[in-house]
């Protein structure tokens, strides 16, 4: 009863919250933008900045609409992840009082502080899905550590392009390289991404049992996988994004894996090769993509696996999601926020190899309270709800640090109550002894969310799930 009461309490607070809209002084006074001044974008090209601005020279804006337009332009700039801080403000170009109905000239000032774009750093990571699985289920073994180096070079040419590289060893050997350029045309709508990966695993999760991953270790290679692909992207306006990608994938497993789990690639096969085509759509109007407080997000993805006659996989995967984030008070000093979101997956046809079935428990697709479990299946539905209270939100200046890209330290903290529900439909539940598939999953709890440097979000959660099991977990968090 406690889990049901807690779930219903958070759900009611989230869904029945009433937004209180502050009363503004409506005016017919019109402003005309005579200047848009950019400063601080030393490396970033002007056209990349102005691509995010709705306000243009020559625009006429009602005074009552000005603050909202400035705020959203600043949010779009911050969401590019090119700047530590970005502000958009307006100032009058005349000293006289504005007469009702007249056009008053204004200047818009865009002030930015760029990030440090070239990051090359050592890797000390864990092979498990999250730190909680490693801490509670894997005995905190250092044999499961991944080490190596990563390169993350943003804004390579000043066009918001990105070069990323990974070389990792230890629990697995992985080499990855990608290059992304969001705009390759004059209109700044079309973009491109190319990437490739090669990876070998001496240890592999070859099946699940009772909603836990079961690993097999060998002195040799248990799995070899690689892919190469190209993706074309399109951005219409400010908030609509589309992508069309083509990728060739080649996988191989050891005979031992196929013998222990003949369903891994299906029919006891040891190789899997296929060409895949993917299409994605995203409408993203969130104020902060890392930790949104206002706005909404709608996504849809379709992936066809197996385009060629000789391909080893035939699958259609559909994933859709929608989320809304809002403030419970429109006052600038308001501290209460809420969000709700749904996500669903469908895989067709129903029978698929074990390796290509992913339900809940992977990445951010989980019912909070079930961090230690994976629920494999063809289809799932997920509903997540949160009620947040802002403890503080501030920016600290580290004066003794002379590198300007690092001496501005933003940090915010939120106390969050949450309630989630999920369901996984699986045809392999009995075979893999799943106790959580094909049943309603509920989870609720509270968390402390810390939002800090470079949009890093850490979440410390105390949870209770539908089976009455309590837990304390840490996650690098993202809602959807």
Judged against a pLDDT cut of 90, whether residue 83 lies above it is answered with yes
Query: Would 54 be classed as within a structural domain?
Result: yes
267 and 282 co-located in one domain: yes
234 and 335 co-located in one domain: yes
d(CA 46, CA 30) in angstroms, rounded, equals 27
330 and 451 co-located in one domain: yes
318 and 392 co-located in one domain: yes
Judged against a pLDDT cut of 70, whether residue 1 lies above it is answered with no
**In this predicted structure, which of 18-32, 293-307, 328-342 has the lowest mean pLDDT?**
18-32
**Mean pLDDT across 290-318:** 96
* pLDDT of the residue at 135: 87
326 and 206 co-located in one domain: yes
80 and 148 co-located in one domain: no
Judged against a pLDDT cut of 50, whether residue 344 lies above it is answered with yes
272 and 400 co-located in one domain: yes
301 and 406 co-located in one domain: yes
* pLDDT of the residue at 478: 58
Range of the domain at 90: 26-114
**Mean pLDDT across 56-85:** 94
Give the domain CATH number at 335.
2.40.160.50
Place 17 in a pLDDT band, splitting at 50, 70 and 90: very low
Judged against a pLDDT cut of 90, whether residue 322 lies above it is answered with yes
Give the domain CATH number at 49.
3.10.20.310
Whole-structure pTM value:
0.88
Judged against a pLDDT cut of 90, whether residue 252 lies above it is answered with yes
327 and 357 co-located in one domain: yes
Query: Would 293 be classed as within a structural domain?
Result: yes
Name the CA dihedral angle for 225, 230, 234, 235, rounded to a multiple of 10 degrees.
50
125 and 103 co-located in one domain: no
Number of Cβ within a 10 Å radius of residue 398? 11
**Mean pLDDT across 407-414:** 88
Place 27 in a pLDDT band, splitting at 50, 70 and 90: low
Q: Domain count for the chain, please give it.
A: 2
* pLDDT of the residue at 22: 37
* The two three-digit tokens of residue 384, written as one number: 């997540």
pLDDT digits (tens, 9 = 90+) for 355-407: 998 899 998 899 999 999 999 999 999 999 999 999 999 988 888 877 777 77
How much of the chain, in percent, has pLDDT values that exceed 70? 91
103 and 129 co-located in one domain: no
Judged against a pLDDT cut of 70, whether residue 39 lies above it is answered with yes
How much of the chain, in percent, has pLDDT values that exceed 90? 76
């Amino acid at each position: 009863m406690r889990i049901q009461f807690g779930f219903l309490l958070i759900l009611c607070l989230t869904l029945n919250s009433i937004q209180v809209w502050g009363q503004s002084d409506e005016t017919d006074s019109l402003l005309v933008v005579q200047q848009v001044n950019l400063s601080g974008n030393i490396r970033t090209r002007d056209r990349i900045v102005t691509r995010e601005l709705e306000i243009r020279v020559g625009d006429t804006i009602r005074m009552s609409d000005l603050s909202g337009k400035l705020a959203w332009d600043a949010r779009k700039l911050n969401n590019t992840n090119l700047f530590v801080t970005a502000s958009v403000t307006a100032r009058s170009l005349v000293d006289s009082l504005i007469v009702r109905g007249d056009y008053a000239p204004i200047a818009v000032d865009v002030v930015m502080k760029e990030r440090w774009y070239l990051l090359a750093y050592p890797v000390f990571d864990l092979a498990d899905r999250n730190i909680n699985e490693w801490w509670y289920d894997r005995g905190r073994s250092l044999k499961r550590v991944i080490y190596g180096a990563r390169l993350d070079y943003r804004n390579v040419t000043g066009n918001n392009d990105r070069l990323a590289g990974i070389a990792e060893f230890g629990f697995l050997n992985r080499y990855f390289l990608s290059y992304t350029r969001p705009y390759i045309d004059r209109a700044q709508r079309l973009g491109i991404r190319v990437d490739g990966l090669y990876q070998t695993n001496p240890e592999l999760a070859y099946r699940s049992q009772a909603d836990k991953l079961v690993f097999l270790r060998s002195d040799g290679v248990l799995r070899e996988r690689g892919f190469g692909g190209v993706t074309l992207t399109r951005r219409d306006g400010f908030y609509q994004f589309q992508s069309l990608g083509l990728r060739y994938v080649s996988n191989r497993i050891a005979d031992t894996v196929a013998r222990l789990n003949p369903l891994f690639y299906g029919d006891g096969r040891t190789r899997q090769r296929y060409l895949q085509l993917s299409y994605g759509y995203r409408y993203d109007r969130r104020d902060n993509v890392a930790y949104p407080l206002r706005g909404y997000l709608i996504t849809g993805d379709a992936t066809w696996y197996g385009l060629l006659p000789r391909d080893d996989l035939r699958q259609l995967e559909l994933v859709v999601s929608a989320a809304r984030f809002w403030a419970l008070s429109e006052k600038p000093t308001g501290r209460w926020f809420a969000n709700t979101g749904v996500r669903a997956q469908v895989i067709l046809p129903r029978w698929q190899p074990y390796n290509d079935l992913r339900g809940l428990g992977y990445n951010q697709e989980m019912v909070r309270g079930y961090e230690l479990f994976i629920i494999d299946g063809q289809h799932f539905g997920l509903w997540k709800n949160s009620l947040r209270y802002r403890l503080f939100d501030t920016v600290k200046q580290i004066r003794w640090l002379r590198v300007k890209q690092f001496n501005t330290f933003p940090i915010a903290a939120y106390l969050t109550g949450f309630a989630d529900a999920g369901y996984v439909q699986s045809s392999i539940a009995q075979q893999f002894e799943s106790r959580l598939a094909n049943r309603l999953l509920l989870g609720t709890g509270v968390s402390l969310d810390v939002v800090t440097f470079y949009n890093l979000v850490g979440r410390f959660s105390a949870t209770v799930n539908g089976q009455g099991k309590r837990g304390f977990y840490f996650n690098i968090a993202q809602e959807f």
